[in-house]
Structure 1
Amino acid sequence: MPIQDQVYDCLIIGGGPGGLTAAIYLRRFTRSVALVDKGNSRLRLIPVSHNYPGFPEGVPGNVLLGNLSVQLERYGGSVMPGEIVDLRIEDGLFVGDYAAEDAPEGELTRIRAHTVLLATGVADGGLPIENWREAIAFGSLRLCPVCDGFDVMDKRIAVATADTNPVGHALFMRTFSADVTLFERGSASMLNDEDRRRLDAAGVRLIESPLLSVTLDASMKPVLHTEDGEDYSADVFYPMLGEKARSNLAAKLGARTAQCEELLVDAHQATSVPGLYAIGDVTVGLNQIAVATGGAARAAVRIHNQLPPALRRPPIRPSPLRPASGGPAQAG
């Protein structure tokens, strides 16, 4: 049946670990699912994740995504490459305009569904470092202190101030190294007297001349350049440039958001719009792979239970042999 003629039980937008996990659950509940993915999952950037349970030696991000995709395929699901460019409600159904990856420019297909699950993640605020993708792959540029602090134990760690809680990440990294340096991002200091006291008490070095740029040396290590002309070498740099949730599709429908445009959800991952759910980094909470997959399980179970029952039809079996008229059936 053509896509536009179906009404899916759930349209999942975003094929990262959360979206794929939700699709696996829903397919195992025998629900019809359309999973659309633009290919922007941050997991693809992770060279190796060491804090996702079940992989003692760590797992590359693209391998984990590949494993989840194969698992989904075993239950009759698949990823539809492309983008949902608009989402609305018509006649009690969600309607998404789908721009397929291989479709001619401007050609859209309408996808209708009873429910929608948003797993669209966040967009980083920008990375002021040359060859940043290579730096991430090498491990000299990192985005998540919670994810990989253990992996940079006792290294020279550079951290940039963040818009909120500017010293928090630098203090957090003192758990893992005695050599932590915090760089001011702008000409106007973001720190107050209490922030400075906390840094001093923890032994975190503060560089107050604004950070201008970051380059990589011959060994792919970051070199941080400040406005006063000084250069500082480090083993790893956490830019902490902030992020913005990809929540515009939900916000357009009236879903409530919080700081950084993250979506507010209840204990079942439901947004303030009935039938619209959200999981992972696009929601308020801790940005972790395990959190995204856990939220996916909660959302999928809730979606299944809220939809009309998916009653299994009796299998078609041959009719039993009946005795011939006038006596018992005889062996042939």
Structure 2
Amino acid sequence: MHDVIIVGGGPAGLNAALILGRARRTVLLCDASQPRNAATPLTWGLFTRDGTPPFDLRAKGRADLDRYETVECRDVAVTEAARDADGFTIIQADGTVERARRLILATGLAQDIPEFEGFETYWGTGVHSCPYCDGFEVRDRPLVVYGRGHGGCGLALELTGWSQDVTLCTSGHDGDLSDKDRDRLARNGVRVIEAEIERLEGDGSRPTCLRFRDGSQTACTALFLMPFACSPSPLITQLGCELDETRSVVPTREYEKTNVPGLYVAGDASRRVQFAVVAAAEGAMAAFAINAEFVAEATR
């Protein structure tokens, strides 16, 4: 039996494995190599690694683990997970069964992209979900938010820090905006377009304009999505984790603990601040808490 199994090999999972390896715990890290940011060319906002390609970060993280003989990495998906009195059992995609005393889910989220023509084409290169990650590179250019209601209003106002040319597109959901939100948008120079979206057009590498079903269009260098529902790993629901009101994020407790004893969730699936550096920190906190538990159990 392993001390810890980690599912997911992004910043959260890799940093958890690193800390646990340094604590001389036996760790199995399983990674399906299907990260949410696979289409993103560069990772921004990460201390000493600003602008590094995501897969380069993952490769470096894997290489860092090579010196720790108690850490094993496998390129395999985990399809099932269960908890019993002694710990956790996982089943890998190849049918292999493994057990551990503790389990960290660092599985991230699967991004649900609205089904408008062009949105998926430019996902990661012109369609984004986080202005902190991608706003600086498109600063002072025409930016569009696709969203509705108070959430769409908030993201549009947030983007005014990167550009004074911001448009909120509701695609027919105009009734979701309150009068107060409309007033704030108008006072801050944010246009509201209520026509239904038809498609996002571009030059093959970046978007250039957003077209509407009524024949109109607006310039668009980048389109930001209001946080739409993202899909958590099925393992989270299999294990009985509580979810927040969006049914996508696990509201973790102190040190990334969940409502399930011995189960930790770190990274994008546990927070709305979805930065690589935050995910890495959460992985480290989960690892610290698990090792502290093992020490307490062994020395009581």
Distance 1:246 1:218, change over 3 A: closer
Indicate conservation of the 8 Å contact 1:140/1:222, yes or no.
no
Aligned to 1:263: 250
Aligned to 1:189: 175
Aligned to 1:73: 66
Show CA shifts across 1:137-176 (max 9, x none): 5x32222112222222101111111466121111100001
> 2:292 matched to 1:298?
no
Distance 1:140 1:254, change over 3 A: closer
Aligned to 2:232: 246
Distance 1:168 1:193, change over 3 A: same
Give the secondary-structure state (helix, strand or coil) at the position aligned to 2:128: coil
How many angstroms apart in 2 are the aligned matches of 1:148 and 1:156? 14
Indicate conservation of the 8 Å contact 2:11/2:279, yes or no.
yes
Matches within 5 A, 1:1-332: 7-55=1-49, 58-76=51-69, 77-100=71-94, 108-128=95-115, 135-136=122-123, 139-162=125-148, 165-187=151-173, 189-217=175-203, 220-240=206-226, 242-261=228-247, 262-308=249-295
How far does residue 197 in structure 1 lie from its aligned partner after superposition? 0.4
Indicate conservation of the 8 Å contact 2:153/2:185, yes or no.
yes
Indicate conservation of the 8 Å contact 2:149/2:177, yes or no.
no
How many angstroms apart in 1 are the aligned matches of 2:149 and 2:205? 30
Unaligned segments of structure 1, at least 5 residues: 1-6, 101-107, 312-332
Distance 1:164 1:281, change over 3 A: farther
CA RMSD of aligned residues (A): 2.3
How many angstroms apart in 1 are the aligned matches of 2:53 and 2:280? 16
User: Aligned partner of 1:264: which letter?
Assistant: P
Indicate conservation of the 8 Å contact 1:158/1:237, yes or no.
yes
Unaligned segments of structure 2, at least 5 residues: none
How many angstroms apart in 1 are the aligned matches of 2:173 and 2:85? 53
Identical columns (%): 30
Work out which structure has the larger RCO, using CA pairs closer than 8 Å and 6 or more positions apart in sequence: 2
Flag the structure with larger Rg. Answer: 1
Indicate conservation of the 8 Å contact 2:3/2:27, yes or no.
yes
Give the secondary-structure state (helix, strand or coil) at the position aligned to 1:19: helix
Give the secondary-structure state (helix, strand or coil) at the position aligned to 2:38: helix
How many angstroms apart in 1 are the aligned matches of 2:297 and 2:63? 24
Indicate conservation of the 8 Å contact 1:189/1:208, yes or no.
no
Distance 1:187 1:175, change over 3 A: closer
Give the secondary-structure state (helix, strand or coil) at the position aligned to 1:286: coil
Distance 1:194 1:131, change over 3 A: closer
TM-score, normalised to structure 2, is 0.90
How far does residue 22 in structure 1 lie from its aligned partner after superposition? 0.5
Give the secondary-structure state (helix, strand or coil) at the position aligned to 1:171: helix
How many angstroms apart in 1 are the aligned matches of 2:39 and 2:267? 16
How many angstroms apart in 1 are the aligned matches of 2:103 and 2:205? 46
Show CA shifts across 1:163-213 (max 9, x none): 661211111000011111111133553211111101101100111112222
How many angstroms apart in 2 are the aligned matches of 1:264 and 1:160? 26
